[in-house]
Amino acid sequence: MIKISVASGKGGTGKTTIATNLAAALSARGKHVAYLDCDVEEPNGGIFLKPTISAKSAVSVLVPQIDLEKCTFCGDCAAICEFNAIAVLKDNVIVFDSLCHSCGGCYHVCPEDAIKEVPRQIGEIQIGAANGLKFMEGRLNIGESQAPPVTRQLKRGMPASDIVIIDAPPGTSCPVIEAISNTDYLILVSEPTPFGLNDLRLAVGMARELKLPFGVIINRSDLGDNLTEDYCKNEGIEILLRIPFNRKIAEAYSDGRMACHQSDNYGENLYRLYENIAGRITND
């Protein structure tokens, strides 16, 4: 199994467009592909792939429940919680479920055994298929703040396939790291603008810290400056693909249609990109 993650330092660079079209282009050429939408706070790969969902499963985390008859209101549980998820009053204990990180610290330090951990649903996993490829999507419930547990469960259920394309969330925070960790190769999608370059630098730092092999795709490569090209050259970063602006592709995107179905050249370029990456992974 080859696991390729697609990420970007900022939103709006075309990350999901690349991830979905890469998965679709590979599937159309006979590869056994699974697409995982790990952008669980705003999953939108399904808008383009249009999967048929066949199964759903809840994602839950453990949160503390206080037995006030046993509790002596000593405050040990609140003292150990670094996220201020527990407030101990004179004759009550308030648990802020949305702040809890499910570390279990309060449960272990309670001297009166007055705390038990109970499950609380924070999201959902959807499983299906789209035009021959396997589809999985994580979806964090509205108002929840802990995306990594949803991503972890999504990746644990990763279906058996020759190729897995992981669509990571934008940025460089914990949800991104959870999505791209333990993948074989990381594609960073950027754009030739000052903002794009600034966030690409952050993403490159993240990739190097995680010791992930990576390369860069410059999207809308003909509409900006040369600073991103110069940065990659100076840093010894391979530019995997340059994708110029194409009005037909932009119109397809705005209608929720796949770019690789509108342009044979687009899909063929992505397939050659995969062959390049797969060759590197195999040789390593």
Taking Cα atoms as reference points, which of 17, 99, 111 lies closest to residue 64? 99
Contact 243, 268 (CB under 8 A): no
Least confident of 60-74, 198-212, 255-269: 255-269
Give pLDDT, residue 249: 82
Tokens (6 digits) for 22 = 């890469």
Q: Which numeric CATH code is attached to 68-113?
A: 3.30.70.20
Q: Which residue has the higher pLDDT, 145 or 24?
A: 24
User: Tens digits of per-residue pLDDT, 122-140?
Assistant: 999 999 999 899 999 999 9
Confidence of residue 150 (pLDDT cuts 50, 70, 90): very high
Q: Is the pLDDT of residue 233 over 90?
A: yes
Tokens (6 digits) for 3 = 């696991």
Sign of CA dihedral 244, 245, 246, 249: positive
**Mean pLDDT over residues 257-273, rounded?**
85
Give pLDDT, residue 76: 97
165: left (phi over 0), alpha (psi -120 to 50) or beta: beta
Confidence of residue 211 (pLDDT cuts 50, 70, 90): very high
Q: Is the pLDDT of residue 284 over 70?
A: no
Least confident of 57-61, 76-80, 143-147: 143-147
Rounded CA-CA distance 229/281 in Å is: 24
Q: Which numeric CATH code is attached to 2-59+123-283?
A: 3.40.50.300
**Mean pLDDT over residues 144-165, rounded?**
93
Tokens (6 digits) for 33 = 């592909």
- CATH 3.30.70.20 residue spans of the chain: 68-113
Confidence of residue 260 (pLDDT cuts 50, 70, 90): confident
Give pLDDT, residue 262: 74
Rounded CA-CA distance 42/141 in Å is: 10
φ, ψ for residue 138 (rounded to 5)? -100, 140
- CATH 3.40.50.300 residue spans of the chain: 2-59+123-283
Q: Is the pLDDT of residue 257 over 90?
A: no
Whole-model pTM? 0.90
Over the chain, what is the mean pLDDT? 93
- Find where tokens 């996993």 sit: 125
User: Tens digits of per-residue pLDDT, 162-194?
Assistant: 999 999 999 999 999 999 999 999 999 999 999
**Mean pLDDT over residues 216-239, rounded?**
93
Kind of pairing between the strands at 93-95 and 163-167: unpaired
Identify residue 24 by its one-letter amino acid code.
A
